[in-house]
């Protein structure tokens, strides 16, 4: 069964807050990386997790609202598509129903041993992306 959106809770640390009193923009990148990797580790079969690593190639972040230390925040990750060794994700960071940031990212799947790009098996891809075979 394909899980359309994966919910990843985010813990905001005091060190995430910048001189303006809100979460520094650079912290969002760590949140996205943590959320996507967590999604992969929860949905992929254990043998696929052991054989593959992920590296981010591109992040495009649209910031909507500032985030503060006491906010309760979640990242909803959606795998949009897989093309060869690349995977395209959308991560929406929310405070309740309010979207505070939306991130489009491209990732490369690597073989864990050689660290060279690796295509995922079709049965693994189908766990993430509806209609992908």
pTM above 0.85, yes or no: yes
How much is the pLDDT for 129?
Answer: 82
In a domain, 48, yes or no: yes
**Each residue's pLDDT tens digit, 61-91:** 999 999 999 999 999 999 999 999 999 999 9
Q: What is the mean pLDDT of residues 113-121?
A: 96
110 in a structural domain: yes
In a domain, 132, yes or no: no
The domain spanning residue 121 has which CATH number?
A: 3.10.129.10
pLDDT of residue 127: 87
- The percent of residues above 70 in pLDDT, for the chain, comes to 95
In a domain, 80, yes or no: yes
Q: Is residue 133 part of a domain?
A: no
| Mean pLDDT, rounded, for 40-54 | 95
What is the domain range of residue 118?
6-125
Q: Which value, to the nearest 10 degrees, does the dihedral of the CA atoms of residues 94, 81, 30, 113 take?
A: 150
User: Of 130 and 47, which is predicted with more confidence?
Assistant: 47
Residue 17 CB contacts under 8 Å (≥ 6 apart), including other chains:
23, 24, 68, 69
Domain presence at residue 1: no
In a domain, 130, yes or no: no
User: Is 43 inside any structural domain?
Assistant: yes
Contacts of 126 (CB under 8 A, 6+ apart): 2, 132, 133
In this structure, the number of other CB atoms found within 10 A of the CB of residue 66 comes to 15
């Amino acid at each position: 069964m394909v899980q359309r959106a994966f919910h990843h809770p985010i813990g905001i640390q005091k060190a995430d807050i910048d001189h303006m009193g809100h979460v520094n923009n650079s912290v969002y990148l760590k949140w996205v990386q943590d959320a996507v990797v967590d999604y992969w580790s929860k949905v992929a079969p254990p043998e696929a997790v052991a054989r593959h690593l992920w590296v981010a190639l591109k992040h495009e972040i649209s910031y909507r609202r500032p985030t503060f230390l006491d906010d309760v925040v979640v990242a909803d990750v959606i795998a949009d598509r897989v093309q060869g060794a690349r995977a395209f994700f959308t991560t929406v960071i929310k405070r309740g129903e309010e979207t505070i940031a939306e991130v489009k990212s491209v990732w490369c799947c690597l073989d864990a041993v050689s660290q060279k790009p690796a295509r995922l098996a079709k049965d693994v891809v189908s766990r993430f992306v509806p209609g992908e075979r």
